[in-house]
Every structure is written in structure tokens, then in C-alpha cells.
């Protein structure tokens, strides 16, 4: 079948109202699901999965992809408005989005988030269509040693999100690494800091930690000073993102999209680290460096580009190899299998109509996301107008429901409260929370891949420099460490 | 306020007069101890529909994941034994884990099994470019050293399956001669073999069926007596190892230990009705599962039989995890 | 007191970090991390990574103590609170509200408990819109319940009293 035939076959498959309707409903559900803290894009996709069982395969998969993409964008809405990431991937959006909302520029931040998300989405989809085969074979070269080098490099992001003190940022990161060791040991299955509790054996739930760390301290700060917010503008504001601001951030958005595509095509990384990496790269090179973390619109753009750039790219290993890149695609793969489809190289031969149908659907999805997102922003503007002393109790209640729903476990609600107090203590001692979160995500990956490498090499450390991918990441790490060292020197002499 | 009090008294009255004859009079919580999209989750959600029709009340599916199924299992172990909280038990959480982990917060005695409805044949597979074409090749390679196997974690079905297969093919000390490289989850375990991190894995045939169909993995054997569709590999019986027939995955339903007899009996009836559903059968078998309904007694017997088999292997090889 | 604390913030943090790293390395890891006896390679031991972390922790503690505090913008320091109740008292009260919430959640069920939590926190913060607060306190948990239980199919805990449909 020629290329044109394939495209025609694809069009005939999705060229009906049902397909686009599923995609549209998916995006709406995703944006709403993503906007509810704790529900998260992952949960929204998992909850939609059973509904796809009776549908046509292509419609069902488009529905799930819509939820996925909508969810990743939707997460940025509460991240900006109430400092609660709706989905882990939007944690980096808080860093500048929430300060902007505090300044009464929530509308601008949300607008930029939408522009950046949709741009990154287009880049990501195009990469999927053009480079799927090539990127997939690259991704399959990632064994534990390559992962170890990549994650080591990713940990240098911490320097970029540490704020005014690298040492306190490090402290925060180590705290995150320590809390991430709770649970069963990977290699021997023994208990680490579990105290015989089956809830702790599973490790601390990531979403509970995330929401506890970012949302609850706001509630506690309200108790410390219930009237401090009065007089500060907190409505959505008339300000809307201008084309000029978009143009100024365009380079960061494209770079973030590419970071997202690369990290997304490697199984096992996910959208949150990508958003943080994109953010710290933007901060490192921006001419508005000083303003990052205090409400810099470019920071929002970079973070949102970083996480939406992942969304299309995670489909690369899924479609080309049948390997799920993260939890969400693991659920989506379930939808393929229920319909008797087997993602993998053979799918490009056997079900090429579905593949091209998906591609066409994906391109349309970027446009739909923009439309749905614009409406959603206007609908959620009312949140910004709610009096803060009613909003905060509502946030608290919302977090309780959301965190419980993640794993149907009351223990997680307790974890959230405990992390909230830790987070508040960190706010008071001016220890930044972002490094904690990055370390909490990457720490277990670093340890596990280190030990898996040692197992596969029989204890020979030379496995860590076994190929060009590892060399590349070690080089990047050295460059990053050198840049950090230089910035410390500059700060001292300045 | 008046209404509220009325509602309160009415509902309290209902609770007090509740007898098991009326069971179930409200939705039943079904705990799935593994994550969404996994084998247990898909199986549970597929039976949920016909089962819900048979029960006549909604079934509320709740994934409680963590610690290889232990977190969700403990949630049911500690629930009231009134039949309103039930568990989708799985081979990993209820025969491998209890056999391997000394510190597991539960034993088989903490649960009452009402059914096992699904059996998953297991298969061992390698990468096609590994130069390994048969179990004999694999065993020969193990003797040379450097062979590794992946699993979805310590105490998972994949972990014990690989050890049990090597053991029954005469490898002297499988723990020493081959290296276990645990991964996080079944998908990652298959990927590890795909990209050469590990030499082989033994897992449910359904979870690697697509890789086998795509030629990305080469099956070496299946553990059932009958051949598995799509797997061009000898059965355990053809290789002269019928004892490996016990090495299969399964999904069942369990309640807390004190589950009343009439509740268990009702579940037996409902399952008999639900597994007759044509759509359910079609979906499950197309995924490579064998639908084999067991009543409460035979389910219990089956699980204990598998547990004892695993336990003796674990004790003989010193695999038990004490901490 | 706060002023003094912030002057030597890094030093205080450093001392605390050092003490904690010692506790971590000499008490927490040996007692709470179980390591099998037959480990061939020390780097594969379950305790290896925690010990590495203890080392980094001790190192950053020392670094925090010896480095001079870099001058920084102090704009995000919480304002000293005004009002009748002492701020620390208010933190304690909020902690009590959270604690009781955790206690009541499995007993009363999630909907009734969160209604109480909402009312308690809203009035504790001294909202200027008491009526709106009460209305939201009733509506927000109910809407969330309806959504999570009936749309998302989540088993929201119902507690031992009044069950919602």
C-alpha cells in the first residue's frame, strides 16, 4: 500500500462524526479530570477505559488519547489558580503560574499555558508521525545503564529550581530521596522503613506527596495569617496573553517540546521530569532569569511545553514497539488489546488504516484542545473570584476526595496531611519544594537502574560507559555540573 | 433537621435488621489489588459486567495498588466480613507472595475464597537474536553462566516461574547460576528481554502474546498440557515436565476469613451464571485466558495446592524473604 | 525570636541536618532497613542507597554550617500575624481539625466528615461570608460525592451511619 493509500484508508476510518465526537468528548473529559486535583490525567484515562470496551477500536482509542491530552493541559488550571497541580505533570507550572495568579494575571498565565500546550502538542504529534520508527529504535537501546546516566543528568535540574540557595535545594532533594526509599526493596523484596505496615510497603503515594507538598501548605498559611491576602488582586484579571509574549517565549516552547518528545519516546520517564527539565533550561538561558519563580510568563510556557510535548511522543514506543512509556500509555495499551489489536511493528503492516486514522485524529486533537481549553479557562475564571477563606476549605475538601480516589486508600489522605505540614515547615525555612518532588520521582529510578545495571553486569562498573548514549549523558552531566559550579562562583563574586 | 433525624433512624433500623437473606442490599466494593490496565484489572473489569447482572446490585471496582498486591489484600483482610468488600485475588498476591515473604501481613487463612474463574497459561520466552532456540539451549547457556531473567518484582509470579522452570530442568542451584533482574511491573519485565537487559522471562502467555506475534520475542515453552494458540513452542508435557502444569496464573474472588457460608454460596451461584455469558467468554479466550470456574471448595484446594508447591520450592532453595 | 532564626537560618538547618543524618545512619538504617545476610556485592544491599543518602545529608549539613548565608530577597517571609489569637495557637487548632478529620473519615464517612471540616476551617479562618460558607460546606462535598461515586465509580467511604445512595 502506498503512502497515499494509507492516508486515504485512515481518512475513511476517521472520516465520520463518531470518531471526532469521541475525540472531542475525550478532550472535554480530560480537561475536567485534569483540572480536579488528585483525579489526574492517569485516573481520568483509567476511568474512561471501561467505556471504550463496546466502541469501535479507533473511536475508543481516540477517546482515550483525547482524555490524555486534555488531562495534561487541564492539570495546569488548578496549578495556576490554587497552587494545586491537577496532574503530576503540571507541578512545574506552579513555579511561575501561581505567582502570576497572585499578581492578578491568572488569565495571562492560563492563556500562555494553553498556547504553549497546543504548540507542543503539534510538535509532539508531528514527531510521532515523522520519526516514530527511528525514535523507537533509539528508545530500545535504553537499558538500565543508559537510564542511570539519563536520570543522573536529570537530577541536575534540581539546581535550576532551587531558588536562591542551592544548598537548601540540595537539602530538599535529599529529603525527597529519603522519603522515596520507604517501601519494599526492589532487588531483595525486604522492608525499608515500613514498620510492618502494608500501606507503607507500597511506598508513599506520589500524588498524596505532591498535593500535600503544594496545596496543603497554602491552607496552613491561611491559618497562620487569615487576613494577609486581603487587598491583593486575585481575580482572573483582564490581562490576556499577547502575541508578543507568545513570540518572546517561542524559543523556550519549541525547546520544551523537543525535550518532551525525546523524554517521551524513552519508556519510563514521563511528563513531570520533562516539564521540570524544560523549565530549568528556559530559566538557565532566559534573559529574564531573575524573574523566574516570581511570576515569569516564559516559565509557564516552558513548563507546559515540556509536559505536553510528551503526550504525542509516548505513543512512539507504544505504536512502534508495543512498549508503554508511562502509566497512562500502559492503560491505553489495555484498550488496544481488548480490541484484539497488537501494538508493535506488525501493526504498521496489519492495521495501517488504524495507525493513519490515529495520526489524523491526533492532528485534529491539537486544534480541538485549543478550542476546549479556551472555553475551560473562561469557565474556571470563577474559581479565581471565590473569596479565599471559602476557597481554602474547598481546596482542602477537594484534596481529601482526590487523594483518596487515587488509590482508594484512606492512608494516603493521612500522608497528604503529614506532607502538608512538612511542606509548610519547608516554606517557613525557605526550603524550595520543587527539588523535593523531582528527587522523589527520580530517586527510585536512579537507585533501581543502578542496581539493575550492577546485576546485569555482575558487579562490573564499566557497564555505565558501555555505549554512546551513556557517554552522551555523562558529557551533558559534566557540562551541567560545570555550569552550576560557575553560577555559584558568579554569585559569590557578585 | 427533622428530615435528617428521620433518615438517620430509618437507615440505622435497616442496618440492624439486615440479615444475610437480603444480601446484597447495597453496592458491593470489589478491590483490585493491582493497577489499571494490568492483567488482573482487565480480567476483573471484564467479569464485572456479567457478574453485576447476576448480583443485581452495582459492583464498585476499586484499584488499591502497592507492594505486589499486599496493600489491597490487607484492605480486604481488615474489612468487615459482611460480603460488601471482596477482593480479586491473583496468583501473585495469594500464592507466590505468601510462599515467599515471611513478613507479609496476611496468610491464606485470612481469606475465604469463593471462586477461581480464570487460568492463564504461562510461557517462557527469549529475544529472537539470543541464539537460544529451545529449553535445552537455555539450560546449556545457564551452565556457561551470565544468564539473567526479568520479573515484575520480588515475590511476583514471574520471579518464581523462572526459578521453578530452571529447577525442574535440572539446573542445580537456579539462584546462584542465573541472575534475577527485578523490574517494576510486567510491561517493564518484557521490555527488559526485548532490549537485552535480561536473557529470558516466564510469564502469562497473554501478556507477551503481542510480542510473540510480532516476532519480537521467541517462546521456548508453555507450561500447560495443551498447546497455546499463537505460541509455536512445545508444552511442558511434551518436554517431559508435567509437574510444571501447576505453574499457571489465575484470578479468583475472595472475602475476609469470616465470610458467612450463605454469602459464599451466593457467590458460587452468581459466578456460575456470570461465566456463562457469551461476550465475557469470547473476550477472555481471545486474550488467551482459559475460563475454568471453580466452586468455593475446589478454589480453596487449588490455591492451597499451588501455594504448597511454591512453598516447598522456596524452602528447598532458601528463597524465603525474612525481612 | 523569628528574626534571630532567620538570621542564622542556614546554620540552624545545618545543625539539624547533621543531627538527623547521624540518627539516620546510626539508628534508622540498622533498625528499620532489613538486609539479607547472603549479599555478594555490597552495592546491591538494600542499605547501600540509604547510607549514600545519609552521607550526602551529612555533607550538606556541614556545607550549610560553614557557608556564609547569601543575601537574599526576603519578600516571601510570612508576615507577622495580627489579630486576637496567637498564630502558633491557630496552627495547633488547624492541626487538631486535620487530626479529627482523619479520625472521623472512616467512622462518619467522607461526605459528613468533609462537611464538618469545611465549616470548621471556614469559620476558623473567620470568613466574611458565613452564609456562603455554610452553603458551600454542604454543596461541595455532596457534588464531589456525586461525581466521584456515580460518575467516576470510586468507592467513597460511607461510614457507619446515614448512607447516601
Residue B254 and residue B233 in one domain:
no
C-alpha A28/C-alpha B193 separation (Å) is 38
Q: Which residues of C touch B8 (CB under 8 A)?
A: 161-162
Residue C48 and residue C100 in one domain:
no
Instruction: Pick A141 or B263 by higher pLDDT.
Output: B263
Question: CB burial class (10 A; 0-12, 13-18, 19+) of residue B309?
Answer: middle
At B73, which CATH number?
Answer: 3.40.190.150
Q: Which residues of C touch A227 (CB under 8 A)?
A: 82-83, 126
C-alpha cell recorded at residue B321 = 524473604
Q: Is the residue at B222 inside a domain? A: yes
Eight-class DSSP state of A268: T
Residue C10 and residue C61 in one domain:
yes
Residue B136 and residue B242 in one domain:
yes
Chain B partners (3+ C-beta pairs within 8 A): A, C
Q: What is the mean pLDDT of residues C80-91?
A: 70
Chain B: nearest CA to C3, how far in angstroms?
44
Contact in structure between A39 and A86 (CB atoms under 8 Å): yes
Within the 88-147 window of chain A, which residues sit less than 8 Å (CB to CB) from chain B?
A: 140-144
Residues whose CB is less than 8 angstroms from the CB of residue C98 and which lie 6 or more positions away in sequence, other chains included: A417, A420
Residue B140 and residue B225 in one domain:
yes
Q: What is the mean pLDDT of residues C119-139?
A: 91
C-alpha B122/C-alpha B116 separation (Å) is 17
pLDDT for the residue A305: 94
Q: Which residues of A touch C60 (CB under 8 A)?
A: 167, 170-171, 174
pLDDT for the residue C3: 45
pLDDT digits (tens, 9 = 90+) for C6-50: 457 788 888 999 999 999 999 999 999 988 877 778 888 899 999
In chain B, the percentage of residues whose pLDDT exceeds 90 is 59
Residues whose CB is less than 8 angstroms from the CB of residue A197 and which lie 6 or more positions away in sequence, other chains included: B105
Q: Is the residue at B322 inside a domain? A: no
pLDDT digits (tens, 9 = 90+) for A163-211: 778 888 889 999 999 999 999 888 888 899 988 888 899 889 887 888 8
Q: Which residues of C touch B153 (CB under 8 A)?
A: none
* Residue ending a domain, choose from B206, B223, B246: B246
Question: CB burial class (10 A; 0-12, 13-18, 19+) of residue B11?
Answer: middle
At B145, which CATH number?
Answer: 3.40.190.10
pLDDT for the residue A234: 56
Give DSSP secondary structure letters for B15-34.
HHH--GGG--SS-EEEEE-S
Residue B238 and residue B259 in one domain:
no
Q: Which residues of B touch C35 (CB under 8 A)?
A: 323
C-alpha B85/C-alpha C47 separation (Å) is 37
Residue B168 and residue B235 in one domain:
yes
Cβ burial B163-187 (10 Å sphere, 16+ → b, else e):
bbbbbbbebeebeebbbbbbbebbb
pLDDT for the residue A286: 85
Q: Which residues of A touch C144 (CB under 8 A)?
A: 397-398, 401
Chain C: nearest CA to A218, how far in angstroms?
12
Q: What is the mean pLDDT of residues C76-98?
A: 74
A187 and B155 within 8 Å at the Cβ level: the answer is no
Give DSSP secondary structure letters for B57-87.
S-EEEEE---GGGHHHHHHHHTS-SSSSEEE
Eight-class DSSP state of A103: T
Q: Is the residue at C158 inside a domain? A: no
Residue B135 and residue B32 in one domain:
no
Report the alpha-carbon angle B127-B131-B132, nearest 5: 75
C-alpha cell recorded at residue A416 = 497528604
C-alpha cell recorded at residue A48 = 474512561
C-alpha cell recorded at residue A65 = 488519547
Q: At B18, is the pLDDT very low, low, confident or very high (cuts 50, 70, 90)?
A: very low
C-alpha A49/C-alpha A58 separation (Å) is 13
Q: Is the residue at B16 inside a domain? A: no
Contact in structure between B218 and B231 (CB atoms under 8 Å): no
pTM of the complete model? 0.83
Question: CB burial class (10 A; 0-12, 13-18, 19+) of residue C71?
Answer: exposed
Q: Which residue of B has its CA nearest to C112?
A: B4
Q: Which residue in this structure is represented by grid cell 525481612? A: B323
Q: Which residue in this structure is represented by grid cell 453485576? A: B52
B61 and C163 within 8 Å at the Cβ level: the answer is no
Q: Which residues of B touch A458 (CB under 8 A)?
A: 146, 179
Q: Which residue of C has its CA nearest to A194?
A: C32
Q: Which of C43, C70, C119 sits opposite A454 (nearest CB)?
A: C43
Instruction: Pick B15 or B174 by higher pLDDT.
Output: B174
Q: Which of C94, C101, C102 sits opposite A220 (nearest CB)?
A: C94
Q: Which helix (H) or strand (E) holds A119?
A: helix A106-139
Q: Is the residue at C135 inside a domain? A: yes
In 3D, which of A65, A381, A412, A115 has the Cα closest to residue A245?
A115
Q: What is the mean pLDDT of residues B22-41?
A: 86
> C91 lies in which domain range?
87-151
C-alpha cell recorded at residue B289 = 485466558
Residue B242 and residue B138 in one domain:
yes
A455 and C44 within 8 Å at the Cβ level: the answer is yes
Residue A409 contacts B, CB cutoff 8 Å: yes
Name the packing angle between helices A297-313 and A243-265 (round to 10°): 40
Residue A92: other Cβ atoms inside 10 A: 35
* Residue ending a domain, choose from B246, B270, B286: B246
pLDDT for the residue B39: 84
Contact in structure between A279 and A91 (CB atoms under 8 Å): no
C163 and B26 within 8 Å at the Cβ level: the answer is yes
For chain C, what is the domain count? 2
Q: Where are the domains of chain A?
A: 3-493
Q: Is the residue at C16 inside a domain? A: yes
Interface test with B, best of A340, A407, A442, A448 (most B CBs within 10 A): A407
In 3D, which of C165, C46, C58 has the Cα closest to residue C109?
C165
Cβ burial A6-17 (10 Å sphere, 16+ → b, else e):
bbebbeebbeee
Residue C4 has pLDDT above 60, yes or no: no
Residue B152: other Cβ atoms inside 10 A: 25
Interface test with C, best of B1, B4, B6, B7 (most C CBs within 10 A): B7
Q: What is the mean pLDDT of residues B45-61?
A: 90
Q: Which residue of A has its CA nearest to C88?
A: A224
pLDDT for the residue A238: 61
Residues whose CB is less than 8 angstroms from the CB of residue A2 and which lie 6 or more positions away in sequence, other chains included: none
* Residue ending a domain, choose from B246, B279, B297: B246
Residue B35 and residue B92 in one domain:
yes
pLDDT for the residue B19: 52
pLDDT digits (tens, 9 = 90+) for B268-313: 999 999 999 998 998 888 888 889 999 888 999 999 999 999 999 9
Q: Which residue of B has its CA nearest to C34?
A: B323
Residue C44 and residue C14 in one domain:
yes
C-alpha A348/C-alpha B94 separation (Å) is 39
Residue B100 and residue B47 in one domain:
yes
Q: Which residue in this structure is represented by grid cell 537485552? A: B196
Chain C partners (3+ C-beta pairs within 8 A): A, B
Q: Which residues of C touch A53 (CB under 8 A)?
A: none
Q: Collapsing DSSP states into helix, strand and coil, what is residue B193? A: helix
C-alpha A72/C-alpha A74 separation (Å) is 6
Q: At B9, is the pLDDT very low, low, confident or very high (cuts 50, 70, 90)?
A: very low
A344 and B210 within 8 Å at the Cβ level: the answer is yes
Report the alpha-carbon angle A126-A127-A130, nearest 5: 85
Interface test with C, best of B27, B154, B178, B320 (most C CBs within 10 A): B27
Residues of chain A with pLDDT under 50: 1, 233
pLDDT digits (tens, 9 = 90+) for B230-244: 899 999 999 999 999
Residue C2 contacts A, CB cutoff 8 Å: no
Q: What is the mean pLDDT of residues C68-93?
A: 62
Long-range Cβ contacts of C120-124 (<8 Å, 24+ apart): C121/A219, C121/A392, C121/A393, C121/A396, C121/C94, C121/C97, C122/A389, C122/A390, C122/A393, C124/A223, C124/C90, C124/C93, C124/C94, C124/C97
Residue B100 and residue B166 in one domain:
no
In 3D, which of B141, B107, B109 has the Cα closest to residue B124?
B141
**Region of B106 on the Ramachandran plot (φ > 0 left; ψ -120 to 50 alpha; else beta):** beta
C-alpha A479/C-alpha A340 separation (Å) is 47
Q: Is the residue at B2 inside a domain? A: no
> B126 lies in which domain range?
122-246
Q: Which helix (H) or strand (E) holds B121?
A: none
Residue A117: other Cβ atoms inside 10 A: 32
Residue B107 and residue B193 in one domain:
no
Q: Which residues of C touch B322 (CB under 8 A)?
A: 34, 36
Q: Give the distance from CA A83 to its chain's centroid.
A: 15
Q: Which of A188, A189, A334 sits opposite B42 (nearest CB)?
A: A334
Report how far apart, in Å, the C-alpha atoms of C94 and of each of A392, A417, B24, C123 are: 12, 11, 40, 12
Q: Which helix (H) or strand (E) holds B220?
A: strand B218-222
Chain C: nearest CA to A224, how far in angstroms?
5
Give DSSP secondary structure letters for A154-189.
HHTHHHHTSTT-HHHHHHHHHHHHHHHT-EE-TTT-
pLDDT for the residue B315: 93
Residue B281 and residue B259 in one domain:
yes
Q: Which of B7, B26, B61 sits opposite C162 (nearest CB)?
A: B7
Residues whose CB is less than 8 angstroms from the CB of residue A125 and which lie 6 or more positions away in sequence, other chains included: A312, A359, A362, A363, A365, A366
Strand order in the sheet with B28-32: B59-63, B28-32, B85-90, B249-256, B111-120, B290-294
Q: Is the residue at B22 inside a domain? A: no
Q: Give the distance from CA B95 to its chain's centroid.
A: 8
Q: Collapsing DSSP states into helix, strand and coil, what is residue A469? A: helix
Instruction: Pick A488 or B56 by higher pLDDT.
Output: B56
C13 and A171 within 8 Å at the Cβ level: the answer is yes
For chain B, what is the domain count? 2
Residue B61 contacts C, CB cutoff 8 Å: yes
Amino acid at each position: 500500500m502506498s503512502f497515499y493509500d494509507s492516508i486515504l484508508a485512515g481518512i475513511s476510518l476517521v472520516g465520520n462524526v463518531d470518531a471526532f465526537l469521541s475525540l472531542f468528548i475525550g478532550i472535554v473529559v480530560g480537561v475536567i479530570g485534569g483540572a480536579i486535583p488528585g483525579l489526574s490525567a492517569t485516573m481520568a484515562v483509567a476511568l474512561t477505559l471501561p467505556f471504550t470496551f463496546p466502541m469501535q477500536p479507533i473511536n475508543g482509542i481516540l477517546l482515550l488519547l483525547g482524555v490524555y491530552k486534555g488531562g495534561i493541559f487541564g492539570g495546569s488550571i488548578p496549578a495556576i489558580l490554587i497552587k494545586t497541580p491537577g496532574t503530576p505533570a503540571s507541578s512545574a507550572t506552579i513555579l511561575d503560574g501561581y505567582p502570576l495568579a497572585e499578581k492578578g494575571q491568572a488569565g495571562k498565565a492560563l492563556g500562555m499555558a494553553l498556547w504553549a500546550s497546543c504548540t507542543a502538542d503539534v510538535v509532539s504529534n508531528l514527531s510521532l508521525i515523522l520519526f516514530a520508527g527511528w525514535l523507537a529504535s533509539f528508545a530500545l537501546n535504553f537499558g538500565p545503564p543508559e537510564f542511570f546516566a539519563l536520570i543522573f543528568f536529570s537530577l541536575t535540574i534540581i539546581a535550576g529550581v532551587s531558588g536562591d540557595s542551592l544548598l537548601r535545594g540540595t537539602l530538599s532533594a535529599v529529603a525527597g530521596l529519603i522519603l522515596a526509599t520507604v517501601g519494599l526493596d526492589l532487588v531483595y523484596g525486604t522492608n525499608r522503613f515500613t514498620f510492618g505496615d502494608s500501606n507503607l510497603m507500597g511506598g508513599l503515594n506520589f500524588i498524596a506527596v505532591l498535593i500535600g507538598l503544594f496545596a496543603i501548605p497554602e491552607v496552613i498559611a491561611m491559618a497562620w495569617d487569615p487576613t494577609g491576602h486581603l487587598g491583593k488582586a486575585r481575580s482572573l484579571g483582564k490581562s490576556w496573553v499577547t502575541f508578543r509574549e507568545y513570540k518572546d517565549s517561542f524559543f523556550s516552547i519549541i525547546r520544551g517540546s523537543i525535550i518532551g518528545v525525546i523524554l517521551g519516546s524513552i519508556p519510563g520517564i514521563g511528563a513531570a521530569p520533562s516539564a521540570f527539565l524544560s523549565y530549568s533550561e528556559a530559566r538557565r538561558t532566559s534573559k529574564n532569569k531573575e524573574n523566574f519563580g516570581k511570576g515569569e510568563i516564559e516559565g509557564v510556557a516552558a513548563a507546559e511545553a515540556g509536559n505536553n510535548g510528551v503526550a504525542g511522543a509516548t505513543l512512539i514506543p507504544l505504536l512502534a514497539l508495543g512498549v508503554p512509556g508511562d502509566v497512562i500509555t500502559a492503560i491505553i495499551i489495555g484498550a488496544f488489546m481488548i480490541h484484539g489489536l497488537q501494538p508493535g511493528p506488525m501493526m504498521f503492516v496489519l492495521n495501517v488504516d488504524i495507525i493513519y486514522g490515529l495520526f489524523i485524529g491526533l492532528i485534529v486533537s491539537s486544534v480541538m484542545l485549543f478550542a476546549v481549553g479556551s472555553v475551560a479557562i473562561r469557565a474556571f475564571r470563577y474559581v479565581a473570584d471565590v473569596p479565599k477563606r471559602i476557597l481554602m476549605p474547598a481546596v482542602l475538601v477537594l484534596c481529601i476526595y482526590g487523594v483518596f480516589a487515587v488509590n482508594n486508600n484512606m492512608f494516603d489522605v493521612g500522608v497528604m496531611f503529614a506532607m502538608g505540614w512538612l511542606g509548610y515547615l519547608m516554606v517557613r525555612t525557605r526550603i524550595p519544594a520543587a527539588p523535593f518532588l523531582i528527587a522523589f520521582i527520580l530517586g527510585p529510578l536512579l537507585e533501581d537502574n543502578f542496581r539493575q545495571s550492577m546485576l546485569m553486569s555482575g558487579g562490573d562498573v564499566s557497564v555505565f560507559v558501555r555505549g554512546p548514549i551513556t557517554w552522551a549523558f555523562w558529557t551533558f552531566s559534566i557540562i551541567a555540573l560545570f555550569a552550576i559550579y560557575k553560577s555559584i562562583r558568579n554569585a559569590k563574586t557578585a | 433537621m427533622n428530615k435528617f433525624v428521620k433518615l438517620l433512624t430509618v437507615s440505622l433500623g435497616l442496618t440492624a435488621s439486615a440479615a444475610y437473606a437480603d444480601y446484597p442490599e447495597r453496592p458491593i466494593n470489589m478491590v483490585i489489588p493491582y493497577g489499571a490496565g494490568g492483567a488482573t484489572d482487565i480480567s476483573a473489569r471484564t467479569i464485572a459486567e456479567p457478574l453485576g447482572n447476576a448480583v443485581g446490585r452495582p459492583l464498585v471496582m476499586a484499584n488499591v495498588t502497592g507492594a505486589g498486591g499486599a496493600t489491597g489484600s490487607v484492605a480486604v483482610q481488615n474489612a468487615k466480613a459482611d460480603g460488601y468488600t471482596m477482593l480479586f485475588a491473583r496468583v501473585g498476591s495469594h500464592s507466590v507472595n505468601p510462599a515467599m515473604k515471611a513478613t507479609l501481613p496476611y496468610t491464606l487463612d485470612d481469606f475465604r475464597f469463593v471462586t477461581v474463574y480464570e487460568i492463564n497459561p504461562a510461557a517462557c520466552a527469549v529475544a529472537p537474536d539470543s541464539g537460544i532456540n529451545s529449553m535445552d539451549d537455555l539450560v546449556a547457556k545457564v551452565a556457561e553462566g551470565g544468564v539473567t531473567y526479568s520479573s515484575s518484582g520480588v515475590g511476583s509470579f514471574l520471579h518464581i516461574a523462572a526459578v521453578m522452570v530452571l529447577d525442574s530442568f535440572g539446573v542445580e542451584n537456579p539462584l546462584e547460576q542465573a541472575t534475577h533482574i527485578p523490574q517494576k511491573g510486567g510491561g517493564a519485565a518484557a521490555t527488559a528481554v526485548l532490549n537485552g537487559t535480561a536473557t529470558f522471562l516466564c510469564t502469562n502467555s497473554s501478556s507477551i502474546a503481542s510480542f510473540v506475534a510480532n516476532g519480537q520475542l521467541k517462546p521456548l515453552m508453555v507450561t500447560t498440557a495443551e498447546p497455546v494458540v499463537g505460541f509455536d513452542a512445545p508444552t511442558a508435557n511434551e518436554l517431559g515436565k508435567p509437574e510444571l502444569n501447576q505453574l499457571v496464573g489465575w484470578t479468583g474472588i475472595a472475602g475476609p476469613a469470616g465470610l458467612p457460608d450463605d454469602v459464599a454460596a451466593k457467590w458460587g451461584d452468581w459466578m456460575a451464571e456470570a461465566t456463562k455469558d457469551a461476550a465475557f467468554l469470547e473476550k477472555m479466550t481471545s486474550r488467551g485466558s482459559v475460563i475454568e470456574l471453580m466452586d468455593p471448595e475446589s478454589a480453596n484446594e487449588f490455591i492451597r495446592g499451588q501455594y504448597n508447591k511454591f512453598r516447598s520450592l522456596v524452602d528447598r532453595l532458601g528463597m524465603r524473604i525474612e525481612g | 525570636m523569628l528574626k534571630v532564626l532567620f538570621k542564622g537560618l542556614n546554620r540552624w538547618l545545618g545543625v539539624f541536618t547533621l543531627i538527623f543524618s547521624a540518627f539516620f545512619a546510626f539508628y534508622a538504617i540498622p533498625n528499620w532497613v532489613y538486609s539479607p545476610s547472603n549479599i555478594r556485592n555490597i552495592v546491591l544491599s538494600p542499605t547501600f542507597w540509604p547510607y549514600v543518602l545519609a552521607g550526602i545529608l551529612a555533607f550538606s549539613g556541614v556545607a550549610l554550617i560553614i557557608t556564609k548565608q547569601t543575601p537574599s530577597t526576603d519578600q516571601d517571609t510570612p508576615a507577622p500575624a495580627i489579630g486576637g489569637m496567637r498564630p502558633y495557637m491557630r496552627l495547633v487548632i488547624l492541626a487538631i481539625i486535620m487530626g479529627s478529620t482523619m479520625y472521623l473519615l472512616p467512622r462518619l464517612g467522607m461526605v459528613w466528615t468533609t462537611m464538618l471540616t469545611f465549616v470548621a476551617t471556614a469559620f476558623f479562618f473567620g470568613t466574611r461570608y458565613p452564609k456562603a460558607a455554610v452553603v458551600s460546606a454542604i454543596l461541595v462535598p455532596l457534588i464531589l460525592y456525586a461525581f466521584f461515586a456515580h460518575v467516576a465509580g470510586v468507592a467513597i467511604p460511607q461510614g457507619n451511619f446515614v448512607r447516601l445512595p
